[in-house]
Amino acid sequence: MRLTWVTAVFVLLGLGAAHAQTPERVASRLLIEQMGGPLGIAEEASVPPMAPLAIDILKHFEGWVPNAYNDPVGYCTIGYGHLIALNRCEQIQLGSFAAGLSEADGALLLEGDTLGARAAVQELVIVALTDEQFGALSDFVYNVGRRNFERSTLLELLNMGEYALAAAELRRWVRARGRILPGLVTRRACEESLFDGRLTYDIYGRFDRAACVSLGIADDVGPLIDVELGEDAN
């Protein structure tokens, strides 16, 4: 079938929309919080980086879309889940994002976007963390937000030195908009596996999400939590 140029444009525009409708991701609660005002983020030079495997987990579950698109709730988004505005793309001036992003630029943007998550882990966790634990928690906070993390049983247990119980709490954060999202279930499995030191790159040096699923996180640890509402809503 031949495509007219008009049809081709709609096909290209639909790529971002199709990605946004998958059960893989919801908008970063951390970035939504930061849209609402400053959170007292520390200087980047004083905040540790995320381990490469943690960044690859985040990239995988946020997905890569080089052009601006509207996520399922109508937030204008680009790159690795970067939140442009709490409005639809057609309602705002896209500015420098109108031309899209290179993957290298998207990675730089993500580095800045994760700063708030990394700072939250550094500031709120009072026990020692491995690089893998720090990275897993940073990915989690990027997804669920600083406020939800600060009020969580997970953080309370962790700061009591209950590492295993804290890691198991990740399994509860798998709902969004009232539904259990398969992407969140797998993302939490990857974070827990990384936190526990069980997750590594495959023999080709790549992140493989199947390794997270095979480790299993099916145990019942408490009522499931909506990442958009937080534990207080339970």
Measuring CA to CA, how many Å separate 165 from each of 78, 153, 155?
Answer: 35, 10, 10
Whether 43 is catalytic is no
Within the chain, what is the greatest distance between any pair of CA atoms?
A: 63
Q: Running DSSP on this structure, what letter comes out for residue 199?
A: -
| Distance from C-alpha of 127 to C-alpha of 218, rounded to nearest angstrom | 27
Letter string b/e over residues 69-93, b meaning 16 or more CB atoms within 10 A of that residue's CB: bbbeeebbbbbbbbbbbeeebeeee
Name the active-site residue from 33, 62, 132, 162.
62
Q: What's phi and psi for 75, nearest 5 deg?
A: -90, 135
Nearest Cα neighbor of 217 from 135, 136, 110, 152 is 136
| Distance from C-alpha of 111 to C-alpha of 108, rounded to nearest angstrom | 5
Q: N- to C-terminal Cα distance for the chain?
A: 52
Nearest Cα neighbor of 162 from 208, 221, 204, 89 is 221
| Distance from C-alpha of 48 to C-alpha of 181, rounded to nearest angstrom | 30
Q: Which residues are catalytic?
A: 62
